Structure 1
Amino acid sequence: MATVDTVWRARDTNPGEIDAALRSALSQVHRENAGYVPARVLNLVTIVDKQYSGEIANRLRRVGRYHPSRTIVCSVDPRRTTLDAVATISAPSEVGEGNIGLLRETVVVECGTRHLKHLDRIVDPLVVTDLLTCVWAPHGHAEAVDSLLDMSQIVLTDGVDEPEPVDALHRAQQLSKKVYVVDLAWLRSTPWRERIAATFDPPTVRPELRTISAITIRHHPDSAVAALLLVGWLASRLGWSCSPLMSGRGGIIEGNVHARRQDVRVRLEPDPRLQVRGLAGLTLSTASGRTYSLDRGPGGLRAHFENRRGEQRDWTILGASRGEAGILGEGIRQALLRDQTYKPALEAAARLLP
């Protein structure tokens, strides 16, 4: 859809001036066309390194209908000592009589590292009051995130951004004590969790859940967190007792968890062929001799089933993956929901850490 933008710019400004300019611009746009109304669902505060701000802007443009109502981008330049700002109000170019055109507001504040410890003083006047506020810092800046926790309800994270899984899971645990955490690493496993649940949903197959004896997960070399969270999800839902796994050569993580009837062998294998973050495939085995595998493939997930008698079936689950472009949009959507399965999976995954 074509849009028209109202833009305000200022150098060496302050939050009060930015807020006043936004209010004035919104009033002006509404006077020009009473059909224009501001969207009022979610504030998104994004903290980015200035040199990578273009990449983040591209990702935000691809979230589609899940775009936040007001986006506040804190662009960090280590050398900066003052604040510059650009405020943009985007409106549909045409609104028919009797229709509504939703306005999207974006504020880019260029700040320095000296501002991060007290970033709440800059951001607080700029968020829309009475809306949920979500914070996303794709380039780290934990100090800035911590300064915003008292005024935020959600933190958007990505466990694969941390060099070590232990840091990612411990940080998520720390944040989840104060706010609702949406982890993109967790969302990347959604199609896999959905298919596992669907496989064992029929009443005739459900008893097989108690006989799972092994699980192997193949993942992007940087996405061990996503694999650990998937095992944590199974453990939390099936009542498995978790203890630390062992690290091996080539980044392999393996060991046993303890089900009610038997041990379950767990193996996490990096797959260097995978070009996108997330999972490449998984294989579940049961004590009755059944194996069920899922692997990435063109157009969806390739599924394979085999039983003790050697009978086999193969099929494709079309469109099962949202793709990396859709993960951020799904993360913003999840900020408005509450996934009750994530936190138990996170706690179980943390107990699996080597």
Structure 2
Amino acid sequence: MIIDLPNTTISQVSKALVKMRDENGVVALGRVLTLIIAASTGSEEEAIEAANDASREHPMRVLVVCTNPADADQGPVESRLDAEIRVGGDAGASEVIILRASGEAASDEQSLVMGLLLPDAPVVTWWPGLAPTVPGLAPLGRIAHRRITDASAQPNPQAALQQLAENYKPGDIDFAWTRLTLWRAQLAAVLDQPPYSPVTAVYIEGSDDSPSTTLLSAWLQFALEADTEYVLTPGITSHGIHSVRLERSTGAIELSRTGGGVARLTQPEQPTHSLALPRRNLRDCLADELRRLDPDELYGLVITEALARLGAATPMTTRSAV
């Protein structure tokens, strides 16, 4: 069910929610958190779809904030707030409230959502597109327990990763790290098997639009204390992480993505294995990050200390020694 509230106010939106609860049995009971999605106008539907899917695992209230403040080049923009409420089959296991503000009504994002937050429930803010320079100090970031960004969605993903490192605050997280979960788990599983000889060198290759490649390099160098070399190639035909090779005295371990969500694992004196290593979509990444609402301490160490030791990413081969 979808209810449109054109040219409205936050008070009227709140009253409409109460009316829906009284007349149709729509309740906020069982909602475990409030998810704020700060999206640009016209790009919000993909994020809403991901939130609807994730809500089946994490029932929540979703507040979508789309703002269009005054533009000096276009002149004054009418101050206006249009809202849309989605429940039932149009909202998964959540209730979605879309706030489209323009002009003066868009000048204070925090005031738009304060009256609609679930009482005594954690708040998570997600920027699926362009993110503020310092998420923790942004209006929608200051009220959030966790703040989710996506460096790969920025115009320059590698520069965005460095910016996140410089402005990191506990509670920040980026999908570039979330997309590494399967890679990290597989590499850790391989190293947990004999022989247990130490890794002496790490070689990683990925596309230059993949901040996950840089983060994986920083994490492996931090965890293994080995010389780490990573190559960033133009992501024209193949995006993301391409391969990881771990050198040991007993031979090299190589994990490479071959396409179609399948990876090839080669190890000394063992047959080659094909493993499922699909690219994680928005729904998977969002659901993963909503499973924990405390700061990710390992991400904090990697994005600040480990990334600083690795050095900034470039389209060239970069070697960083411990």
Structure 2: segments with no counterpart, 5+ residues: 70-76, 313-322
1:237 and 2:194 correspond: no
User: What is the match of residue 249 of structure 1?
Assistant: none
TM-score, with normalisation over the residues of structure 2?
0.81
* Contact map agreement 1:291 1:305 (CA 8 A) in 2: yes
* Contact map agreement 1:48 1:73 (CA 8 A) in 2: yes
User: What is the match of residue 86 of structure 1?
Assistant: 84
Identical aligned pairs, as a percentage?
Answer: 22
Q: What's the Cα RMSD here? A: 2.9
* Contact map agreement 1:191 1:320 (CA 8 A) in 2: yes
Deviations 1:264-297, CA, capped at 9 Å, x for gaps: 1412232636545x312211112x1511111123
Post-superposition offset of 1:119: 0.8
What are the equivalent positions in structure 2 for 1:118-197 lying under 5 Å apart?
Answer: 118-142=108-132, 146-162=138-154, 163-174=156-167, 176-177=168-169, 179-197=170-188
**Which residue, 230, 250, 255 being the options, matches 1:294?**
255
Equivalent-residue separation in structure 2 for 1:182 and 1:334 (angstroms):
13
Post-superposition offset of 1:113: 6.4
Change in 2 beyond 3 A, CA 1:170/1:350: farther
* Contact map agreement 1:116 1:144 (CA 8 A) in 2: no
TM-score, with normalisation over the residues of structure 1?
0.74
What are the equivalent positions in structure 2 for 1:1-354 lying under 5 Å apart?
Answer: 5=1, 7-30=2-25, 38-63=29-54, 65-66=56-57, 68-78=59-69, 79=77, 81-90=79-88, 104-112=94-102, 114-115=104-105, 117-142=107-132, 146-162=138-154, 163-174=156-167, 176-177=168-169, 179-202=170-193, 204-206=194-196, 208-209=197-198, 212-223=199-210, 225-238=211-224, 240=225, 259=226, 264-270=227-233, 272=235, 275-276=238-239, 278-286=240-248, 288-297=249-258, 298-306=260-268, 311=269, 313-317=271-275, 319-321=276-278, 323-336=280-293, 339-347=296-304, 348-354=306-312
Structure 1: segments with no counterpart, 5+ residues: 93-101, 241-258
Post-superposition offset of 1:339: 3.7
Structure with greater strand percent = 1
Post-superposition offset of 1:193: 0.8
Post-superposition offset of 1:322: 5.4
Pick which of 109-118 and 288-297 moved more.
109-118
Equivalent-residue separation in structure 1 for 2:181 and 2:118 (angstroms):
31
Post-superposition offset of 1:345: 1.3
Post-superposition offset of 1:222: 0.7
Equivalent-residue separation in structure 2 for 1:326 and 1:304 (angstroms):
31
Between structure 1 and structure 2, the one with the greater Rg is 1
Aligned length in residues: 299
Change in 2 beyond 3 A, CA 1:334/1:314: same
SS in 1 for 2:42: helix
SS in 2 for 1:66: coil
Pick which of 186-195 and 20-29 moved more.
20-29
SS in 1 for 2:79: coil
Post-superposition offset of 1:323: 3.1
After the TM superposition, which segments of 4 or more aligned residues of structure 1 sit over 6 Å from their partners? none
* Contact map agreement 2:59 2:93 (CA 8 A) in 1: no
